[in-house]
Amino acid sequence: WLEDGAGRAVEAPGEVGELIYAGKNVAMGYARQPGDLAKADEWGGILRTGDMAKRDEEGFYSIVGRKKRFLKMFGNRVNLDEVERMLAARFPTAAFACTGRDDLLLVWLAPAAGEKPPSGEEVVGYLAGQTRLPARAIQVREIEAIPQNEAGKVRYAALGLR
């Protein structure tokens, strides 16, 4: 099922909430030291995945991002995964990764091999128009490549807020 930030069930199709799973196959908790293995079931068969998802009319779930990949900018929730998808669709000649804090959306831009990437001004203008965030709250940093781990996932910690 899906839950909103207040722990209420999200029932309407297309609305986003945290994906929650219950079952006998859910781990009992995390063991950080040997003594933790003797602990009772800390999770009670319920896993809060940290994934933000939506359910369609047929009951199928789609993950749209991570719970911790949001900024709260000027009273609006900004889903960094969604911003990355918007940028990739609009500017296919570049790769993007987004980080930030609640007063700054930081966009990391790397050119695709052999392609001319968009300018920082183009990216800021597009995002300001799409998100209605003030352009002054969006910064673009050009880098050679978006850092990734062995599995191809973006290493956001390597980007940080430099």
Cβ atoms of 120 and 105 within 8 Å: the answer is no
> What pLDDT does residue 63 have?
83
Position 110 pLDDT exceeds 60: yes
pLDDT in tens, 81-109: 999 999 999 999 999 999 998 889 999 99
For tokens 């000027």, what's the residue? 74
pLDDT in tens, 75-85: 888 889 999 99
Angle between helix 120-131 and 80-90 (nearest 10): 120
